[in-house]
Amino acid sequence: MEAQELRQFNAQELETRIRQWREELFRARLKKMSNEMKDTSLFGKLRKDIARAMSVLSEKKKGGAVEDKPVAKKAQDKAPAKAESTEAAKG
């Protein structure tokens, strides 16, 4: 779930949602231990959803309205800096 969607909930709804996701994560761990779970990507998804919800809940408790900021992309067009060769450095 995206942070924008989570910001529409009030604090009590967020706490309920976090509790539900934690219970679901617990059940998923039990299923994994008993070899019933095939898709283990659910762990990461649930953990990220919990973290997002906790962040939004923290924002709400502090009373600050945080705007969504665009994510800066890494510059992949630049070539990595090359170190001088050891022979040239010695001479």
Sequence spans of domains, the chain: 3-62
Looking at residue 12, its pLDDT comes to 93
Rounded mean pLDDT, 4-8? 90
- Which option is the CATH number for 3-62: 1.10.287, 1.10.357, 1.20.120, 1.10.3470? 1.10.287
Confidence of residue 27 (pLDDT cuts 50, 70, 90): very high
- 27: amino acid identity, one letter: R
| pLDDT-above-70 percentage for the chain | 69
pTM of the model: 0.65
Residue 68 has pLDDT above 90, yes or no: no
DSSP letters for 5-38:
HHTTS-HHHHHHHHHHHHHHHHHHHHHHHTT---
Mean pLDDT of 7-21: 94
Per-residue model confidence (pLDDT) at position 37: 84
CB 3 within 8 A of CB 68: yes
Q: How far, in Å, CA of 42 to CA of 5, rounded?
A: 19
